[in-house]
Amino acid sequence: MTGWAALACLLAGAGGGLLTPAGSGVAQRGRRSTTSYGVVVIGLAGAVWLLAGEPRLLVIGGIGAAVLVVVGRLVVRNRHERAAVRVRVQVVEMCAAVQAELAAGQTPSAAIGRAADEWPALAAVGRTAAGGGDVPQALRDLASLPGAGDLCVVAAAWQVAHRTGHGLADTLGRVAQHLREAEQTRRVVSGELASARATARLVAGLPLVALVLGSGAGSDPWAFLLSTPVGLGCLGGGLACGLAGLWWIEALARDVERAR
């Protein structure tokens, strides 16, 4: 029973580590981070207290929780990046759609309203336009959405077009073309980085393949890794190096993608 309770505490701590701030405001993100850190501290403290007399199980549980947190954070971050890519594509499509509506003779508010039908996140901007409000500011507010940072460029173009009297349709058309070319460049860069990411994941998984092959050949590497102090040290050090390499490759890839 103690082992199951300790496992529950470790999983709770790992689950808290997987929590990522998803709120729209700074205060909300801060509260979310504080909550996740509190869950981590309470879960790990409970596991340490329950397994104080079983140091081997405590080490194994700690290694497992750390692996779960790191891998989970990588998966969640990749999922967020894919969502940001979809939002960037929607921004480009929105610019093209609004430009087409304006070229067809529609008013800006009607054009934004129709674009909001295809992209629900634009609904607040559509309401602002319909009410005669500050559309550029509404676009800048929406730019805080992950992947929607290009809306700041759209907001600036909208504001300049209204102040100078230059055609808004032509301005948005140029902005859409620029954003489309930038997105194509990002896709090329992501494609070039995909091979490096795949190689890093393959190399990180090779030790597990070696362990499976060793077990099939009649040896028992798992007993050495999980039952001896030296084996636990090797297990922890190997996993730390492998996960650090994965994290480093992902960090380098994200820095390159953000620079484009």
pLDDT digits (tens, 9 = 90+) for 129-144: 888 888 889 888 988 8
Tokens 């798992």 belong to residue: 222
Is residue 24 in some structural domain?
A: no
Per DSSP, the three-state class of 58 is helix
Please give the angle made by the CA atoms of 246, 22 and 47, to the nearest 5 degrees: 65
Is residue 188 in some structural domain?
A: yes
Tokens 């954003």 belong to residue: 179
Is residue 88 in some structural domain?
A: yes
Structural domain total, the chain: 1
Is residue 26 in some structural domain?
A: no
Backbone region of residue 7 per phi and psi (left: phi > 0; alpha: psi in -120 to 50; beta: other values)? alpha
Supply the pLDDT for residue 51. 53
Choice between 230 and 6, residue whose per-residue pLDDT is larger: 230
The percent of residues in the chain predicted with pLDDT above 70, rounded, is: 75
Is residue 60 in some structural domain?
A: yes
Q: What's the predicted TM-score (pTM) here?
A: 0.66
Domain that holds residue 71: 54-259
Is residue 157 in some structural domain?
A: yes
Q: CA 59, CA 64: separation in Å to the nearest integer?
A: 9
pLDDT digits (tens, 9 = 90+) for 173-208: 888 888 888 888 888 888 878 888 888 888 888 888
